[in-house]
Structure 1
Amino acid sequence: MSEAAALRDQPLADTEMAEGGKVAHTLGGTFDPPSIPSLDGWIENLMACKQLSEEDVRRLCEKAREVLQDESNVQPVKCPVTVCGDIHGQFHDLMELFKIGGPNPDTNYLFMGDYVDRGYFSVETVTLLVALKIRYPQRITILRGNHESRQITQVYGFYDECLRKYGNANVWKYFTDLFDYLPLTALIDNQIFCLHGGLSPSIDTLDNIRALDRIQEVPHEGPMCDLLWSDPDDRCGWGISPRGAGYTFGQDISEAFNHNNGLTLVARAHQLVMEGYNWSQDRNVVTIFSGKILPSPCTDQCKIPFIFSFGS
């Protein structure tokens, strides 16, 4: 099944799960927010690839929602910043990224989505990134990818991993509810536009993106879907995406978008590129992929996790 077909066809998990029992309904209500010492202890354990308890994940996601709901659909980010593409549950690659890019909070990081699915450590990966976001909210920016979705995660591994590691679907529910609050895009120093997927024929300006209601499941179509699913293409203009969601867009589209919005570059993720990055469309677009090992074998070209640093 293609990812887009999963987005289109997979029914949402009900409150009763045959394998996992009852699912918690919301992130709402009163809760005891984690203290700084608690967060530091959680981060220390997570850096060692140790899971948090289900209750601690609930508290973490409650606090993260408070932080994320105040962020913009086009979240401003300052240089210097290190930009990372897809991780896909590859926890040990994430640790390598931190070794290469520098420790937290000394380095500013921007992650462009797809933290879960495919890899074996989606729970540990996304929990650590969310914990770091709460602990260092001005240092860590985490965007939404097309896999930060209820439908997609039921097909590509995160849902099953949560059942396996916690015995029920509550942790999956906490995180997928939280995913609705992740910013869609970021803007580095008003010049570099960052997002998971690509451009949309429904969006001409950054203000169009700022006006979107992002607090929802990823739609099957429309501008929010396009931002998470579209890809650059060698052909000019807009095209039908072979993914079944989003669009393809040509150099004429990216040049016009950058010019109209005063941008120098679109930085995005979403596609495996064997050297970790790929310039396209006369350097109007760069694709960044940070995980080094997927279920299908890679060549020697992608043995090192890749990051892209933008200086001051």
Structure 2
Amino acid sequence: LCKLVAKLFGTEPRMLRVDSPVFILGDLHGNFPDICCFERIFWGLGIHLTPIRMLLLGDYVDRGSYGVELIAYLFAQKVRNPKKIFLVRGNHELREIQKNFTFQTECVRKFGEEQGLAIWQEINRAFDYMPLAAVVDDKIFCCHGGIPAPWLCPHVEFINKVPCPLANPDEESSLAWDLLWNDPVREGNLEESLLEELQENEGFAVNRRRGTAHVFDSGALNRFLAVNRMTYLIRAHEVQQAGVQIQMNGKMLTVFSSSYYNGGHN
């Protein structure tokens, strides 16, 4: 299954083009019961009989108990319905992140040391081919983390130049790293040093909360949308109490699709 889906991912552009109608899901983090709930609501008769497409924005594994089951389900659906379901990579679809969280140990616990590590490696080889972003109806930009810095990505078509497969984006593609990790700046009382950094770097600053990549402000988002003739950004990457949050003057939507995440009450 992993080899089949990796081959399929390899035929897709690094930035997908998806037509509406489409349902978009954010982080699932091994929450298999939730994907079963979405199935009953959105495609109860099967994706192939449903007049919509599904776009998922990454972070399928880690923290939840059913990462293996969730990935097996999504990969199987992708193989059966390649033009109806689209999967974008998140920052937890990376080996080094999983080693520090739960997915690698989940595979070993469920399949034993030798077979578990082999399965974990095959799943991650498939992740290496996974697309990094999507555009819906040529107007809505979708990715896991956030918009990339303009000195890395002057135009969205640069995303299609990112290497495939991509095992180590931190070393191989700063553009991919931004797509996986970036966050919007947290609006409110911003420190003077952060404001200065944003002003000096076209609305981008070092993402100190995560210790990597960037944060971006509403001005950076507006410029990105204008340059690429788009209207909205839909991203994931941050837990939301109600599952979604409208931000940056209605230009950005953060979506998070794993309920009771990490013991919480969302």
TM-score with structure 2 length normalisation? 0.87
Segments of structure 2 that go 5 or more residues without pairing to the other structure are 191-197
Could you tell me which residue of structure 2 aligns to residue 238 of structure 1? 204
Matches within 5 A, 1:84-163: 84-103=25-44, 104-105=47-48, 106=50, 107-163=52-108
Could you tell me which residue of structure 1 aligns to residue 142 of structure 2? 194
Q: 1: distance between equivalents of 2:154 and 2:238?
A: 23
Matched residue type, 1:192: I
Matched residue type, 2:35: L
239, 254, 266: which is aligned to 1:287? 254
Matches within 5 A, 1:160-179: 160-167=105-112, 168=114, 169-179=117-127
Maintained 8 Å contact 2:6/2:125 = no
Query: Hey, which bits of structure 1, 4+ residues long, moved more than 3 A?
Result: none
8, 12, 18: which is aligned to 1:77? 18
Could you tell me which residue of structure 2 aligns to residue 209 of structure 1? 159
Identity level (%):
33
Matches within 5 A, 1:212-223: 212-220=162-170, 222-223=174-175
Offset at 1:101? Answer: 2.1
Q: 1:247 to 1:214 in 2, by over 3 A?
A: farther
Offset at 1:207? Answer: 1.3
30, 51, 67: which is aligned to 2:8? 67
Could you tell me which residue of structure 1 aligns to residue 194 of structure 2? none
Could you tell me which residue of structure 1 aligns to residue 193 of structure 2? none
Q: 1: distance between equivalents of 2:95 and 2:134?
A: 23
Q: 1: distance between equivalents of 2:140 and 2:40?
A: 24
Q: 1: distance between equivalents of 2:40 and 2:168?
A: 33
Q: 1: distance between equivalents of 2:26 and 2:242?
A: 12
Matched residue type, 1:294: Y
Matched residue type, 1:186: A
TM-score with structure 1 length normalisation? 0.75
Offset at 1:297? Answer: 2.1
Maintained 8 Å contact 1:220/1:245 = no
Offset at 1:204? Answer: 2.3
Maintained 8 Å contact 1:146/1:218 = no
236, 240, 244: which is aligned to 1:273? 240
Bigger shift: residues 214-223 or 260-269: 214-223
Q: 1: distance between equivalents of 2:168 and 2:229?
A: 28
Bigger shift: residues 141-150 or 164-173: 164-173
| 1:180 correspondence with 2:180 | no
* RMSD (CA atoms): 1.3
How many residues are matched?
240
Maintained 8 Å contact 2:155/2:228 = yes
Segments of structure 1 that go 5 or more residues without pairing to the other structure are 1-59, 303-312
Offset at 1:161? Answer: 0.6
Could you tell me which residue of structure 2 aligns to residue 38 of structure 1? none
